[in-house]
A and B are shown apart, each in its own frame.
Chain A
C-alpha cells in the first residue's frame, strides 16, 4: 500500500522530536552539546583574548550568548538552507561593520589587492592582534560561526556543527592566535560532539561512551608522551616553559610579537660591530599592543623612503655604521633613524612604530649606515611637555588588557602620587622598579598578566619584565608608552667602535612627550645585568668557544670602562630618559678571550618557542620549568595546566578502568572484605553471596540452573562452605536463622576471605591446600 507515506510520516515526526531540543536528560545528548560548547569556547576564547587586550569583552560575551540563544530558538523552525543564508548574512554584516569602523576602510575595499594580501597574511600567521581594530574585527566575526554551529548542534547535526566550529578555530590556528592548548581543546570538542552525537543518534550504550572518553583522554595525554619519547615533537604541549631560550631569542625575532618567557640565558656570541661617535641603545623595533602575556606590533610596514621624518624638538644627529658579524634578520639604529643607506639596507621597510626591517636577512660582513636624530630635550622641557597627546597616540599607546587587575593602577597611583607631570611619573616608576626588583634570568614565568605578577608576586626578573611592567604602569596613569627591543651599546673597543653580543640584547621603554616624541627610559637595573653578562662571556671564554670576540675585543680587560659623557646634560635627571643612568649603564665590560658556549643558536635570534604561544597565556606554559630542564612531568610543582592534565588523565583512566571492569573488581574487593550488616537473614544471604563470589573466582561461577546446594556439592567445597550453604538455604528458603547462626555464617566467610587475600592467601594455598581450602 503506501509504505513510502508511512516512512515519510514517521521521518517527519522524528525530525520534529529531534528539533524539539529538550531531552538533555539523555547523557549522550548532554555530552554532545557540552563538547560543542567546548569547541565554541575554544574559538570564542581566542576572540575573548583579543577583546581582552583591546577592549570589548563584555560586548563579545553578550553577543555570543545572544547568538547561542537565538540559534537555539531558530533551530526549532528554521530550515538549514535558510539558516545558512542567515549565517552568511551575519558574516557579511560583521565584515561590513568592521570595514566601516576602520578609518579609510571603504578605500581599503576598493583596493581589492590589499584585502587579498591582508587575508593571505592572516592565514599565514599574522596575528589578529596585529589588526589595528582587532576588537571590532572580533565582534564582527563572532556571530556567524557561533550561530551556525549552534543551529546545527541543537538540531542534532553535530558533524556540520563541528565543521563550522572547526573552521572558525582553524582560522585562528592559522593566524597563530589559538595556541596549542586551545587548538587541542577545540579538536577535542569537535571530536566529542561528533562522537557523542553519533552515539546519541544510534542509541549507543554506556560502554561505547566510556570508550569515547578514553579516546578523548588519550588525545590529550598522547602528545605529552610524544614529547617524552626521544626524538619526539620539537614543540610539545607540555606544561613547562620554553627550553634554554636566550633573551635575545625571545626579544629579537623578526616576528611582530614578543612572548614573555620564563628562565632564559645569555648568548655571548658577537652579533655586530658598530662605528659610532657615541654609545646608544641600538633599537630594533617597538611594540604597542600589550596582551598581558606578551607584546604585539599592530599595523603593517611600508617601504622606507630615503629620508625619514625627523622627530619634533631638539635632536642630535648621530651617524652609525653597523657591520653584521653573523647572520641577523634585523636593522638596528639609535632612535630616531632618519635615513638608512648601504647595500644591506636595500629595500628596508619601516614599521608604523618607526622601526626598520630588512628586506632579507643580513649575513656576516654586510654593512649599512643609519643616521639618527636623537632627541635631546632637557628634563625641564619634558616636564613642561604637558598632556596634549594626539588622538592617534592615545588610541594606540594607552591600551591595557581589560583583565589587568585594578591593583596595578592603584599601586602606581600611590607610587606616583607626588609626580606632577608624565616625566616625573616615568622617572618615579623607573627608579622604583630599579630599586625594588632584583635582576635575574632565572624566573618562573607567571600565568596571567605579566605586569601584575611582576609588580605584586615576583621579586626578580629581567629586562622584559621590567619594561613590560613599566609600560603597563605608565599606561595605567594615562601616559602613552611602548615596549622597545634592541641591543645595548655593547663593549667599547675603541673610541668609536662597539662590539655587540647576543647578551647585549635588551628591552626598554619609550614614553611619548608632545613636542619631543618618543623618549627612552630603562627601568632595568644596570649593575646586576652587566654582572650576568660578564659571567656569561667569562664562561664562554673559559670553554674556548668561538665567536665570542672579534679580534679587537679579545684583548680588552674585563673591567668597566667609563664612557665619556654622552652629551652635556647633568646629573641623573637628564633628558633622554636619564642619560646619566644610561651612560653608566652603557659602559660595558670589556671581555678578553674568545669562545662560545652557546655555539648553537646560530646567529640571528633563535626563534622563541611559540608552543603554547602568546594568544592564550592564561592557558599555556605557566609551569616555567625553563632552563632547569625538567621533563614535562618532572617537577613537583603542579601548575594549573598540570592539574587540568591530571584531571583529564584521571577521567580517562576512570573510564578505561570501567571499561576494563577494574572499578567493578575494586568495588567487589571492598564489598568482599567490608560487608554491610543487617538482619540475620540479610547477613546470611550476603555471606553466601560473598562465598559464591570467592568460589567463582577460585573455580567457576554458579551456572544459571544450578542450585546453591548443587554448586557447593559439585565443587566439593569444604566443610565451612557447606555450613554456610546450609545456613543460607535456611535463611532464604526456610524459616530463617538466628542471630548467632547469621554471625557464624559471616565469621566463616570472613575467615575464608582472609585466607583468599593475596599474599597471605597465596602462602596458604601454596601450602598444598586443595579445593577444599574454601
Chain B
C-alpha cells in the first residue's frame, strides 16, 4: 500500500486517542475511547510478534487466530496431536492478557464439567454456582470430537450465545470470549464427528501442519530449558481487545464487496452438495473486516475477502458424495471463477 495514506491515518488516529484517553504506562496502546484502525493494526501486529516468541513459524496461523478474535469468532484447529495447538492458544491469550482455560474433552465429560455446576454450600445452606472452565476469555477445547454430542453442544451454545444456563439460571461469560477447539482426526473410531450445523459456528477452521526442520530445531532450542511461555509478557489488555473488536466492526464494507461475497457463496452452493450458509457469508465479511484492520485499512477490499475465504468457508462446504474434491477445492474454484468487480 502507499505509505502516505497510512501515515495520514496514523496521525489522525494518534490525535483521536490523545483526546479520548490517557496513555497507559509501559505500553504504547491507549486505553478508553475507541481505537483507531492504526491502533488496531499495531496491537494486532504486536500480539503476532509476541506470540512468535513462543511459536516458531506459522505466522499465518497466528494471524488467522488474531483475525478470528478481532472478528468475534471462534477457531477450530484440526490437526494431529503435538504440533503446538495448546501452546499457540495459550501464547495468544497471554499476549492479550486474557484469562485462559483448557478443557480436555473425553468420552465421559459431562456438560456440567464445561459450564460449571451448582454446589450446595453447607455453611450458607444454599446452592452456589461454581463456574466451569468456559468462564475465561480464551477457552481451549482439546479434542472436542471425543466428547459426546451433549457435552459438545454445551460448549457450542456458550460460543453462540455468549452465556451459559445452569439449572435455569443464566450466567454471562467473560468478554471477550474466544473458543479455540481442536479436533483429533487420527482416531476416527473413537470420536463423535461434529455435525455440520455445529461446525458452521466456528468462524475459521485451521490446519497448523508440522513445522519445517529448521523451525522444529529452533523450537526445540527455545523450549529445552524453561519454556518461554512462562516468561511471556502481555502486550495488550483484554479490554484493548474488546475495543479493537468494536473498531473492527466499523470497518467499511461497500456494496461491491458485499456482492462479491454473496456471489462467492452462491458459487459454492452451485458447486457442492452443501454450500456456504448465510452465516458463512457473514463470518467471511467479519473476518475480512478484521483482516482489513490488520492491514491498517478502514475498508474491505476483495483481497481481504480472498485471503479469508478459504479458512472461513472451506469447513462449511460438503462437496458431492461422488467427488474427491474437498471443501477447500470448492472454495478455491469459486475464488478462481467468480469475477472480482
Contacts and interface: CB of A to CB of B under 8 A. Distances in A.
Given A705-B340, A706-B340, A735 B1 contact: no
B340 A704 contact: yes
A710 B1 contact: no
Interface in B101-127: none
Contact of A705 (B252, B298, B337): B337
A411 interface: no
B259 to A, nearest CB: 11
Contacts of A735: 252, 298-299
A11 interface: no
Interface string A704-744: 11111110000000000001001001101111000000000
B257 interface: yes
B1 A726 contact: yes
A354 B25 CA distance: 132
A702 B2 CA distance: 22
Contacts of B336: 703-705
Contacts of A706: 340
Interface string B2-13: 100100000000
Interface residues of B, number: 21
Contacts of A730: 299
B256 A732 contact: yes
A425 B239 CA distance: 121
B163 interface: no
Interface centre among B336, B339, B340 (most CB of A within 10 A): B340
Contact of B252 (A703, A708, A723, A734): A734
Interface residues of A, number: 17
B301 A705 contact: no
A733 B299 contact: yes
Contacts of B299: 730, 733-735
Nearest to A705: B336
Contacts of B256: 732-733
Contacts of B283: none
Nearest to A732: B256
Interface in A683-714: 702-710
B254 A734 contact: yes
B338 interface: yes
Interface in A469-486: none
B303 interface: yes
A732 B254 contact: yes
A190 B254 CA distance: 56
B300 interface: yes
Contacts of A702: 340
A579 B131 CA distance: 142
A710 B306 CA distance: 11
Interface centre among A703, A707, A723, A729 (most CB of B within 10 A): A707
A685 B2 CA distance: 19
Contacts of A708: 302, 340
B301 A707 contact: yes
B339 A705 contact: yes
Nearest to B257: A733
Given A709-B301, A723-B2, A733 B338 contact: no
Contacts of B338: 704-705
Contacts of B337: 704-705
B303 A709 contact: yes
B298 A734 contact: yes
B335 interface: yes
A705 B2 contact: no
A706 B336 CA distance: 7
Contacts of B339: 704-705
A194 B338 CA distance: 41
Interface string B288-325: 00000000011111110010000000000000000000
Contacts of B298: 734-735
A707 B306 contact: yes
A729 B254 CA distance: 11
A710 B297 CA distance: 17
A726 B252 contact: no
A449 B63 CA distance: 92
Nearest to A731: B254
B186 to A, nearest CB: 34
A735 B302 CA distance: 15
Interface in B323-341: 335-340
A733 B258 CA distance: 10
A729 to B, nearest CB: 5
Nearest to B337: A704
Contacts of B2: 723, 726
Nearest to B334: A705
B267 to A, nearest CB: 10
A705 B305 CA distance: 11
Interface in B255-272: 256-257
A220 B336 CA distance: 48
A223 B336 CA distance: 52
A486 to B, nearest CB: 82
A710 B252 contact: no
A708 B302 CA distance: 9
Contacts of B5: 726
B254 A710 contact: no
Contact of A733 (B1, B302, B335): B302
A733 B254 contact: yes
A398 to B, nearest CB: 78
A710 B335 contact: no
Contacts of A733: 252, 254, 256-257, 299-302
A707 B2 CA distance: 17
A554 to B, nearest CB: 92
B249 to A, nearest CB: 16
Nearest to B300: A733
A525 to B, nearest CB: 82
Interface in B223-261: 252, 254, 256-257
A551 to B, nearest CB: 95
B276 to A, nearest CB: 16
Q: What are the 3 tightest A-B residue pairs by CB atom distance, in nearest-first order? A: A734-B299, A705-B336, A707-B302
27 contacts: A702-B340, A704-B340, A705-B306, A705-B337, A705-B338, A705-B339, A707-B302, A707-B340, A709-B301, A709-B302, A709-B303, A726-B2, A726-B5, A730-B299, A732-B254, A733-B252, A733-B254, A733-B256, A733-B257, A733-B300, A733-B301, A733-B302, A734-B252, A734-B254, A734-B297, A735-B298, A735-B299
Given A726-B5, A734-B297, 14 more contacts: A702-B340, A704-B338, A704-B339, A705-B338, A705-B340, A707-B303, A729-B301, A730-B299, A733-B301, A733-B302, A734-B254, A735-B252, A735-B298, A735-B299
Interface of A: 702-710, 723, 726, 729-730, 732-735
